[in-house]
A and B are shown apart, each in its own frame.
Chain A
Amino acid sequence: MSKMAPPEELMNVNYATPAEAWMDVKPEFKLGNYSYPGKPDVLKYLGLPNPREWNPTEEDWKLPPDWRDIIRDGFRELLGKYRSLKIFMDCCVRCGACADKCHFYIGSGDPKNMPVLRAELLRSIYRGEFTVAAKILGKLSGSRKLEEDVIKEWFMYFYQCTQCRRCSLYCPYGIDTAEITFLARDLMNRIGVNINWILEPAANCNRTGNHLGIQPHAFKDMMEFLVDDIETITGRRVEPSFQRKGAEILFITPSGDIFAEPGIYTFMGYLLLFDYLDLDVTWSTYASEGGNFGSFMNDKWMKKLNAKMYHEAKRLGVKYIIGGECGHMWRVLNQYMDTMNGPADFLEVPKSPITGTVFNNAKSTKMIHLVEFTADLIKNGKLNLDKSRNAGITATWHDSCNTSRGMGFFEEPRYVLENVVEKFVDMPAQTIREQTYCCGGGAGLNNGEFTEMRLRGGLPRGNALKYVQEKFGVNTMSCICAIDRATLPGLADYWAPGVTVTGLHELVGNALVFDGEEPRTMNLRQEDLPGIEGSEEEE
């Protein structure tokens, strides 16, 4: 038997990561940490350059021969067009306030997910290519030259940012990393470096009216099935209309609501509410998408997809638009719509036909969120709600980044929620409202191949959820965003197993009591109501 090494040596298990300067660490593409590239046909449809088959794990990304010039010229153009970009490139003092605020950083520990460093990926090129300091000081000034590895790094990390803007909340200068990500993606699009999960939905939306590529007749068919389900549950036959000219209101919601669980239950909630109010509302198969994946590509496509909603409102001659439970639809609407496509002078300032409330906050865009409309109804005593139909639920509220940080909906959704469930508990203060943690799926990152990274980024939200689950018995997390509804069930299953995810209007639909209605025995998921004969609880 050979002599064994001394224990100290045997025990020298060293997993410590060697310290390297960040510029020298190359990104490692592994299944689970990147999204699949844009398909050539989709790029061609969108008129984007350099359509080709390529794979991020391979060395050669098949960039166009003059890619450096394209990026330099593009960067120069964007710096001229957006003064904000120039300020963001110049004013960061690296104070570190944002460093540990990103959910992807908190979950991964990868320094390049620190917002300051994410921005530095772009800033280093800005310095290297556009400032005098770099010519004198070189790398010492934190600058570098544009090489292919830089593009690879951009692709990795600007597609590991959900544009949730939590970091900008803590930045003393108000640097908006989401906008830096917008523009970095815009630059990458110019050389054909992009992800399919953004491009294809945007292309579909332009072509068939929604991200999923659901054709008008299929959209109508799917709605019919939900109408059938509503009849099974409530005994009522609701009658939604499509493209009805002269209707008072056009309603637009994310297409995810019409086909994917648990969004469909929220969709049924919308239909029930409109029926209850006998609201003069119409749907459109042309404007059948509230989301705007164009906003994850560049300003041109964001503008075009946003304009589509307003074209339809104009064509139908409605007075104003109500939007369903969506997240980034509201970012686009509140931050960009007015300068891109506004003001929508051909529409009227939204006024609730039920309560008479005028929504002056939407004076220019003429579009309100359903949650403010519903909160106003409840406040004015216009809804007969029975909380016991959501009995057994201890709910918490997930503030979707775009509706909370992006537009300040803190109270309205909580007010609605508290009126439809018996028990409501908030998650810890530093994880909600303007400080809310992202679901990890925003800005086009809710695709299947990105699940592992998304769970990593979902740790802070999952951690807070688990806390209220254990401490207060929370079993339901409600939200007003379709990407949340798609992403949070998986997040909850991993970090806080046993918590169900619902949209807000699913719970409203459950609680809504119609005059002379048949007593309900099940909720919108067709689960027996507690205390009803034949239900599991009574057995």
Chain B
Amino acid sequence: MEQSSEKAMVSRRGLLKSVAAGGGALAAGSLGVHAMGNMENLPPNVADWSKILGEGVDARPYGTPSEHEKDVVRRHVRWLTASTESSINFTPLHDLEGIITPNGLCFERHHAGAAEVNPHDYRLMINGLVDKPLIFTLEDIKRFPRTNRIFFLECSANSGMEWRGAQLNGCQFTQGMIHCVEYTGVPLKLILEEAGLKPNAKWLMPEGGDAAGMNRSLPIHKALDDCLVAFKMNGEALRPEHGYPVRLVVPGWEGSMWVKWLRRIEVGDMPWHTREESSKYTDLMENGKSRRFTWVMDCKSVITNPSPQSPITHGKGHTVLSGLAWSGHGTIDRVDITLDGGKNWRTARIDGPSLPKALHRFYYDFEWDGSPLLMQSRAIDSSGYVQPTKNELRAVRGINSTYHNNGIQTWHVMKNGEIENVEIS
């Protein structure tokens, strides 16, 4: 296993070297780089697509990306989990721009596969410490006043494989358990008020309709603050893998609380300590103590491009560095960039909307002189919190805490433009 990985690495390097040296069309094609192209389509010639008719309307009633983008897909790590039904895959962050993730590229995390729910048979039950237990149909939920909000969703295990050291080569795998979409839904507060909360209502237990019956304990203050019961993402119905027809939205908090295929919410006076908030999603410290109810996703950032899956192929000269920053505590105030491993920092330009608990896009343009770089990004959120280094996290939490690794990522850019995941002194 180790040997074949090593081999794959070597062959990847070989390809990159030949590209950097202005190598053949085969190598360029393998990398998805169109350095050479087809001379017949290039000036002074006129390309085929400029002469003949293209596909008519309705050729693809539900549009799909260009065939040249077929490698831009979610990917999973086979050895990470026992089966694909209780597993996770990763958003291809290195190929995306802006702050909105396309629905088909939003990472998936299931505990018992993606339930296929018939919307006509969908029901949401509210029971427990309420004046009147209620059952809603999907149509009932769509008759509540609606709101549209953009939020990131990050799994608390994002970057969890990196606690013991740099491991995976690509931000899709090191930071890709995140997506950010616009949700259309109903404030959870309105649905709870419809049932009427008893005075001793302190906790909720949202429960999924999948075969895991995914359940978590949610404190009432969060539920009444900004949680949504959502039925659309990016304008269209939720995808089955994201909870069709209805999911919970818990802004800024770890993804496992955003219960999908939401079938029931029980209201109670104390937490349930379910499996997914005790045996899992708790953070084991060096002294044997475990932190529980670690809900908020702290401030974090990553340079998405260039990165190991998107090497610098253009050689020296003007280079665009693109990245993402986010915080479960609010907006991003600032992102700093270093190219020399933290000796000197420059402030990046945040571009596009700056919304609380949403992804932020940042850019830093620079002239690359072709020498090796150690690139990092460091985000600061609206609470004044500064993204820590991985070693600062390890000093406090050890290496067995699995979750909530928001440490600074280092990419080593080599002379040939290839990039690897490293850690530095």
**Do A and B make up one complex?**
no
* Interface residue ranges, A against B (CB under 8 Å): none
Chain B: residues with CB nearer than 8 A to chain A?
A: none
